A and B are shown apart, each in its own frame.
Chain A
Amino acid sequence: MPDADKIQLLPGTLEMLVLQTLIFGPRHGHGIATTIERTSGEVLLVDHGSLYPALQRLEQAGLIASDWGTSEHNRRARFYKLTRAGRRKLAAETGKWEKVVRAVTGVLRAPREQEGA
């Protein structure tokens, strides 16, 4: 997919996405990156490198934990998993996000409804 169609993430949303990816189980950095890309239909850009400072922040905040493990190709890789605090945080952030989205969408759609009326 051409780079022009990728969208820059809003600041702070990357952390939320990372937490969401980890909800189904531990993953390594590359796995997280590809999952975000795939599930977003390759729209949301992850400049893969920027993932790591975000992982560091999350880990220092105690929202995720990490440990060395073995990857699907039998190589050493660092696996990240959600902590309980991370799970709670994700729930809260998701709720907040949905509210914002609903509100923004509502505003964006309003003129069209008016036209239709």
Chain B
Amino acid sequence: MSRTNDEYEEEIREHIEMEVRDNLERGMTPAEARRAAARTFGNPGVVRQKLREGGPWYWLETLLKDVRYGLRLLIRSPLLSCATVLTLTLGIGINTGVFTVLNGMLLRARVDKSPETFAHLSPQYSGDPGQPALPPTVSVMDYRAYRGARSLHELAAWGIGNSTLGQDDPVRWLVMLTSCNYFSLYGLDQPRLGRLFRPDECATPGAAPVVVLSEELWRRRFDADPQILGSVIRLNQQPFTVIGVTPARFSGQLKGPGIYVPYTMQAPFYGGRDFFRESAMQWLTVEGRLQPGETRASAQAELNVIARQQDRLQPGRKTTVFVTNGSFAAEPSSGVFWMAPLIMGALTLILLLASTNVTMLLLSRAAARQREIAIRLSLGATRQRLLRMLLTESLILASVAGAISAWIAGRVPTTMEKMIVGMPHYPMQPDMLVFAYLAGVTLLAGAMAGMAPAAESLKVDLTASLKGQESLFGSRRSRTRGFLIGAQVAMSLVLLVGAALFVRAEFTIFSENPGFETRQVLLIPLRIPLPPYTPASAAAFYRTLEQRVRALPGVQSVSFASSPPFSSDEGIGPGEELRGPGQPRGTGLKASVNVVSPDFFDTLRIPIVRGRAFREGETPVKGTASPVVVSEAFARTMWPARAPLGQGNDPLGQAIQDPGGDLFEVVGVARDLKSERFGAVDRAFVYFLRSPQAFGDTMMARFQGDSVPIQLAVRNLIREMDREMLPRIGTIQTAMDNFAALFWKMAEMVLFLGAVAIVLAVVGIYGVVAFAVSRRTREMGIRMALGATRADIVLSVIASGVRPILFGLAIGLLLALAGAAALSRALRATPIGLDVHDPIAYLTVSLLLVSTALAAMFGPALRAARADPSQALRQE
């Protein structure tokens, strides 16, 4: 239906020919005839233009023209284009990335296999207002009834419990109590090893003590033992036979280490209560698949009929069943609706910031283009057409940023997995919704960034601009821009100071010598469960193990400590108050306490600076003053060297008293360590002597040579003595390294955010200054004509931009101090010691910011100074 211009061209030519022929027939001369025909036809140029504009593809033609023109301009100033794309990518990319995560966590069901037929039952109960609200779960009785629904199939149920594994296990592992069709509902057909549940294993309550393990658990806890099938493990002390292992890629509701048990075996996980006898007890989540042709609405209608019948069996209960797609957001009363605006608000703010910076970048060019625009306008281009042209430019920039952001969105799943260890499974692969969001954000950013510059370009007084008299005074909005710049500087400062503190803390982990042996000492944490062990058998276990480890070739020293270095689970406690004899309660010294066996100082190679260490075979004796060793810091504080005369200030032989009133005699002073926080000297420490009857402490063994064979040998010794004990053995250094690696992830994230912030700030500063300079060319020209030097010009430009930066620095420093204090409070329980008032961190970051800001201003300032005064004056 569309016609080419050539066709019209031919038609018009033919039309004129016909008119000429008619005129000739009317008796005109050929020349006359042609002239008259041309007159009758009118201006063919105008006609052609009108035909072009009326054509169905005219918009595409102009769009292509605009894109070509825009691309040419962007290529002409590659630096500006790159900065713009980078800034927009940060804005759009962060937005899309976070949205991808939100989408995966809140808006999509946690199911990989055909989510469109997935149906999640969400029952809401109302009824007796005096009764506590019932949880949105389903009882066994109801589950059996719902299974009769004809609109659904594969209706599966699951509940969650937790369990110890074996006897010495401090960890409570997650247990999924599932109906036997659970795996096929979630799309798992083939296990990694063995088999999945058979339907008959869910038939009789308590009859099938079988368990399926996740691959992660199998690897982590059972060393990927290929003989695991058929072996019996104890879950909450009950024996279960391992029948299969699920592959690592299967996630269902649970990712990482996990245990699956038929839901008919729930009793040991719910304190022994049998929910098949108490069949009205609600504890199950029910999910299934829609039958072909059914919708969630139709399934919901059918289930509500069943629910009403069930309610008759439970007077006072009124059930409404909602069938959702299984996402968190679809859950009634999920709270997403107040969370969403918060998150989206923050995201919009980031986008706004990026767009504002880009606006400022583009503004400087827009001002410079007013002459071009004025010429176009005076040649008859419509404002609408020009607006489209200008917006096309910023949209091209946004689309490039959008394309990069699409790639970022695709990287989200792997990044999240790497960043958050043991994160539950969520479907994070970008879907249509993510791409729609990305497209929307890109358009919005492009339009937001381009609108003001376009308006600026179009806001021309035609005659004035052509004469070059526009834009002497501008920027009423300069105050707002100054504020934005200040805010960005402050934000970068806070993030970068955080990053600097983190990096320094990380550095100390690796560089500082903690004052004791870390590489050649194994930590062997032991936990003895009291039933079945008795205190006597537990102590015997410790003694036997100690002898056997001591006998291993390569082991040089073995000892025990109640709190081994860098590994306390509860963090650094407040310590115990120790007093001199006769000193009133509350005036003593708070010290960290470690209860150690005599060889402790030898095992860790901790030097004793005065007196002696504990002697081999020395034991605390009730009723006498037992020996203690104190740290240098303790001795220094308790008995200061410049104490008044008459008070002995030699720590050796001094008596101290613990909070219980027991007396101890100081026999030695040990060198201060850095064992509580990385890189920080410990506070006062007291080492008490461990009773040989004690148990429950961590064993430490110093060895020679490679750690791996010793580690294996110790592990085998323990397993020989108790098959169900599986301690995690490793050197102190390994524990430190693991910690450092975990910590580094946090540092990396803060560093990344800091880098983002500084890029945004630099782009913003550059944009503002460049815009101001482009507006002040004429003023610069006059100044230079009046004798100002180039240096004067550069300085005046920089001075104009420096105020918001200084303002931002001041605010940022205050915020950074407050933030660092909060951060170190949050990290108090960890071995990370942040040096909150580290002046180097603040100074380096401030200098870095100031110098980048100056560098950003220097370019436009130089350009202003390099301008030829006569030309600058003529140009304006």
Contact = CB atoms under 8 A, between A and B. Distances in A.
A114 interface: no
B47 A76 contact: no
Given A53-B54, A56-B51, A57-B54, A47 B11 contact: no
Given A30-B15, A71-B18, A76-B14, A50 B54 contact: no
Contacts of B47: 49-50, 52-53
A48 B7 CA distance: 17
A105 B647 CA distance: 129
A30 B19 contact: yes
B50 interface: yes
A78 interface: yes
A109 interface: no
A60 B17 CA distance: 26
B612 interface: no
Given A53-B47, A56-B51, A57-B54, A48 B40 contact: yes
A112 interface: no
A75 interface: yes
Size class of the contact patch on chain B: 20 to 34
A102 interface: no
Contacts, number: 66
Given A47-B42, A76-B10, A78-B7, 11 more contacts: A34-B22, A47-B40, A48-B15, A49-B46, A50-B42, A52-B8, A52-B11, A56-B8, A75-B14, A77-B18, A78-B11
B14 A52 contact: no
B51 A52 contact: yes
Contacts of B22: 34
A57 B50 CA distance: 11
Interface in A33-92: 33-34, 47-50, 52-53, 56-57, 59-60, 66, 71, 73, 75-78
B41 A53 contact: no
A26 interface: no
A30 B3 CA distance: 18
A60 B14 contact: no
8 contacts: A29-B15, A48-B15, A48-B19, A48-B42, A49-B42, A49-B47, A56-B3, A57-B54
A73 B40 contact: no
Interface string B30-45: 0000000000111110
Given A34-B22, A50-B47, A53-B54, A60 B42 contact: no
B621 interface: no
A101 B55 CA distance: 33
Contacts of B46: 49
A71 B10 CA distance: 14
Given A48-B42, A49-B41, A56 B11 contact: no
Nearest to B7: A78
B11 A29 contact: yes
B633 to A, nearest CB: 91
Contacts of B10: 76
B468 to A, nearest CB: 39
**Which residue, of A29, A50, A53, has the highest number of chain B Cβ atoms within 10 A?**
A53
B400 interface: no
Contacts of A60: 1, 54, 56
A19 to B, nearest CB: 17
Contacts of A56: 3, 8, 51, 54-55
B21 interface: yes
